[in-house]
Structure 1
């Protein structure tokens, strides 16, 4: 039988790494939101609104996150700022991000180049 030891320091680093990866993955979304229609912000926002509506209809996410994202989506520049911020609130909002479809789309485009 394998001996697995839990190292709390590794878990903390792992959470920090995950948060950093999420931040990096959301950077192209933030850039799109700042660039307006020319960068596809309208599509990014439409997909995010659909995701938040799905969460709400299916009770798939905490109402706190639903309310926070509904408010942020009304202000794309604030949403962009939160996507790149390194605060605990921003990390939590990225963990429950309505931009997953856009993140995947931008990753696919980046992988193709």
Structure 2
């Protein structure tokens, strides 16, 4: 879920507002994007991918907000990490986009979740 826009880094290009499929961001009074409808965030990372200024942090948890501070995110080096590892823009030569490899990981996670749910249903008698 989108958690943070670092205003000092934002260039006010508006790309994040344009690419968000859930219309989570609005243009604020000063022109900078503001988090208007965070509860609608689909955690698709499009805003983070299109932010060439690395001013947006999207937490991988799509079910709930995660408390983060600008200082913590800046110190962690997480800003721009997803864009970099996806091989976007200036990172295309150094980091080829290999997101398609995650299909196997997601399938195994889904199978494990289904097995856990079945075991829990057996223990509780199906309720």
Q: TM-score, structure 1 length as denominator?
A: 0.26
- The structure with higher relative contact order (CA 8 Å, sep 6+) is 1
Greater helix percent: which structure? 1
